[in-house]
Amino acid sequence: MAVYSPLKSSVILRLNAGTDGNGKMIVRSVTTSRIRPTVDATALKTVTDGFSALLDYPVLAVEKVGTDSVIAE
């Protein structure tokens, strides 16, 4: 049997930076690393809501990205 072992995690905030000359939405991103892989979704949402108040653009989406290793038991 194999299991996942968390290595690292990061959070990507997708931002609405307005529109281009053709009316297409411009999406920017801000990445924060060194997030605990086991962080609770509610706690992460609370922190990113507070962090988003410091940004120039509104947040469209919050994505948590994790990297795991596979360990055979």
pLDDT of residue 73: 81
pLDDT at 38 over 90: no
Whole-model pTM: value is: 0.82
- Output 57-60 pairs: Cβ under 8 A, ≥24 positions apart: 57/15, 57/16, 57/17, 57/18, 57/28, 58/15, 58/16, 59/13, 59/14, 59/15, 59/16, 60/14, 60/15, 60/16, 60/27
What domain range is 12 assigned to? 2-72
pLDDT tens sequence across 6-30? 999 999 999 999 999 999 999 999 9
pLDDT at 59 over 90: yes
- Please state the domain count of the chain: 1
pLDDT of residue 54: 93
